[in-house]
Chain A
């Protein structure tokens, strides 16, 4: 699969991977592919940042290499490590055979045969289907030293292993970096990336997503779910529900055989939508009833 050559083609490409993208997101994805730059996606949890990388890999027929970040992520887990057990055995064998000089042994046990490749190194290797999609997920969870290291990898697409030398990617991978903004990513890294803030979708787009991803939900229910969630996002909650939560909720309600929202099933299933007790306590009961009433009014006014 070749890369899209215009923004319209990018929209189609994402749609084929059943991702409903708006124009702004398609534009920035197109530019990232065209200019060969990493794409930094920031946004609240559950707005579909990670999904973009998955869809791109699938739609382009590329391999997806995922690096999940966490505090304390180091080169041994992210880039490469030596296979110490195998090296030990090699040394013992060499001793048993009564081998050669120490230099040769050293050269031998630090050869590529004993190198364990971790995601960043894997992403630099050539592959038949074309350069892979490298997803660096939740970069904000790791610490500044790793970010600084990443800076080098993302600007030159090369990694240095002291015992072997520098490994360089002839065809750089497609890099997608995501962040939930639990801390600010350093400006130096941001400058090397194209930046996009992934926002909550509007009602129309969210309904499209719901139809595509939860087709078994009745149409009336889907519309009400979207209207309800959109209302919740207007409220000053600690954590507004993301698209992932909307889908969860629609699925939960479908499993309960609900055909439309009512006060009971909203209160019973609110836990799939809101994840903070304070938020749930605020919405449950009278507030939920008020929103439901508003939705009904709006629906009957529209008819």
Chain B
């Protein structure tokens, strides 16, 4: 290949990577260099080979495949067009902050810097859906300004007081310990060289580790007040320990773990509200649990995860399909804790079908409507998981 042509190609690959980056794919400079090397190694013979060569170097997650595919077909049809578009739109694009999960919309924004039309044209729907089942997704971005000052202060106070749980489970990894169960042959051997006569045995013991925590939080209309406070708690939790996965659900399931991981609480919540579009809508517990079981369970429930299910159990579909899904979820977790704000009523009785389906399959059932209950939850998390486990297996 001739020199100048190659330079042009490299430049185009750089541009292409920039488009991907703007669409939310982490394609760093190192990968761009690699992509150029790879294209040189593979040679430019077929379009398909070129596609898979770039794919091999720029895509690092299965989820990004779709995005790459769309971007590739748009970009490499006529890179110049996009080039011009981009240079025109550049300042505007730079100012934008991409967090949306919708791939095609995200890509469109990355390529053309268009604003989200939906958000501006949508009429302001204001229905009081609390304590009722709403039949429609209320597709709007939840405004956190609505949270009252008292509420916010309460939440902050609660979070400040929370000592994060220390439940630990034994791993198969070991560390040096004076009174350990295992003999550390390597250390013993070294010690034997240091002294003559009796060889002192050095010991090791099993290391302990916190199990991963998976949170499934209901954000439907009847839950919204609590979900907001609870988000603060989840934010603190996500940033204080590793291996926490947070999912929000109303009528659909959204993974917000990445959004919550930003350090500043306001920014984190801002990102979450952008990522979720079924705030204050209805609840479909069966359906969303099914999605979790199929799409996520095997990826996040490994290594003895503890699951927190935060919902009031009021289901738009009257508990349809909840039973088999919660059974399956329960079978896959070490410990399933259900947090229910309805428990604030002293005379709460499990009458709703959704609640009745859920109840037999949880290891613990707790209220979560005020600071006391959050504190109690923390105690629950630091409780004795071993006992719960045996109880569950016997049942």
Residues of A within 8 A of B (CB): 6-7, 23-24, 27-28, 30-31, 34-35, 37, 42, 70-72, 74, 76, 81-82, 84, 87-88, 91, 102, 105-106, 109, 140, 143-145, 180-184, 187, 190-191, 194-197, 236, 238, 278
Contact call A35/B298, Cβ cutoff below 8 A: no
Give the residues in chain B near A180, CB-CB below 8 Å: 298
Residues of B within 8 A of A (CB): 26, 28, 30-31, 34, 37-38, 41-43, 45, 48-49, 52-53, 55-57, 59-62, 65, 171-174, 185-186, 188-189, 192-193, 242, 293-294, 298-300, 302-303, 324, 328
Task: For residue B130, give the distance in angstroms from its CB to the closest CB of chain A.
Answer: 33
A182 near B299 with CB under 8 A, answer: yes
Contacts A23-B48, A72-B173; A182 near B56 (Cβ below 8 A): no
B324 and A35 contact, CB distance less than 8 A: no
Contact yes or no, B52 A74, CB < 8 A: no
Contact of A102 with B193 in the complex, beta carbons under 8 Å: yes
Partner of B56, one of A91, A109, A194: A194
When chains A and B are docked, how far (Å) is the Cα of A7 from the Cα of B41? 10
Interface of B is mostly: helix
Identify which of A27, A84, A183 contacts B303 (C-beta below 8 A).
A183
Is B186 within 8 A of A82, CB to CB? yes
Is the pair B172, A106 in contact by a Cβ cutoff of 8 Å? no
Task: Write out the residue numbers on chain B whose beta carbons fall within 8 Å of the beta carbon of A30.
Answer: 42
Inter-subunit contact B193/A31 (CB<8 Å): no
Give A81 to B184 CA distance when docked, in angstroms. 12
- Contacting residues, chain A, for B62 (C-beta < 8 A): 42, 181, 197
Q: Which of B56, B185, B294, B324 contacts A31 (CB 8 A)?
A: B56
Give min CB distance, B82 to chain A, whole Å: 24
| Known A7-B42, A71-B303; 20 more pairs at CB < 8 Å | A27-B42, A30-B42, A70-B172, A72-B171, A81-B186, A84-B186, A105-B193, A140-B302, A144-B242, A180-B298, A181-B298, A181-B299, A182-B298, A182-B302, A183-B299, A191-B60, A195-B56, A197-B65, A236-B294, A278-B328
Complex Cα gap A88–B189 (Å) = 8
State the CA gap A106–B196 with chains docked (Å).
Answer: 13
CB neighbours of B43 from chain A (8 A): 6
Which one of A34, A105, A184 contacts B41 once the chains associate, using CB atoms below 8 Å?
A34
In the complex, A271→B132 CA distance in Å? Answer: 44
**Residue in B closest to A44 when the chains form the complex, CB atoms:** B298
Chain B residue nearest in CB terms to A195: B60
Q: Is the CB of A84 within 8 A of B324?
A: no
Q: In the docked arrangement, what's the CA distance between A16 and B118, Å?
A: 54
Q: Which of A82, A183, A184, A190 contacts B189 (CB 8 A)?
A: A82
- Contact between chains at A183 and B302 (CB < 8 Å): yes
* Complex alpha-carbon distance, A195 and B356, angstroms: 45
Known: A31-B42, A190-B60, A195-B59. A84 touches B189 (CB 8 A): yes
Closest residue of A by beta carbon distance from B54: A27
In angstroms, Cα B298 to Cα A183, docked, is: 7
B41 touches A31 (CB 8 A): yes
The interface residues of chain B lying within 8 Å CB-to-CB of A181 are: 62, 298-299
A71 pairs with B172, CB closer than 8 A? yes
Give Cα A28–Cα B56 distance, bound, in whole angstroms. 6
Minimum C-beta distance from A241 to chain B (A)? 15
Residues of A within 8 A of B294 (CB): 236, 238
Q: Which residue of chain A is the closest to B328 with respect to CB atoms? A: A278
A31 touches B60 (CB 8 A): no
Which of the residues A84, A109, A236 comes within 8 Å of B185, measured between beta carbons? A84
Residues of chain A lying within 8 A (CB to CB) of residue B300: 183
Residues of B within 8 Å of A194, CB to CB, are: 56-57
Partner of A191, one of B31, B53, B193: B31
Task: List residues of chain A with CB within 8 A of the CB of B173.
Answer: 72, 74, 143, 145
A31-B56, A35-B41 given; A184·B299 CB < 8 A: yes
Nearest A residue to B206 via CB reads A72
Bound Cα distance A72, B43 (Å): 43
Q: Shortest distance in angstroms between B317's beta carbon and chain A's nearest beta carbon?
A: 17
A selection of 19 A-B contacts at a CB cut-off of 8 Å is A7-B45, A24-B55, A27-B52, A31-B41, A35-B34, A35-B38, A42-B62, A71-B171, A72-B171, A74-B173, A76-B186, A82-B186, A87-B189, A145-B173, A182-B302, A183-B299, A191-B28, A194-B57, A238-B293
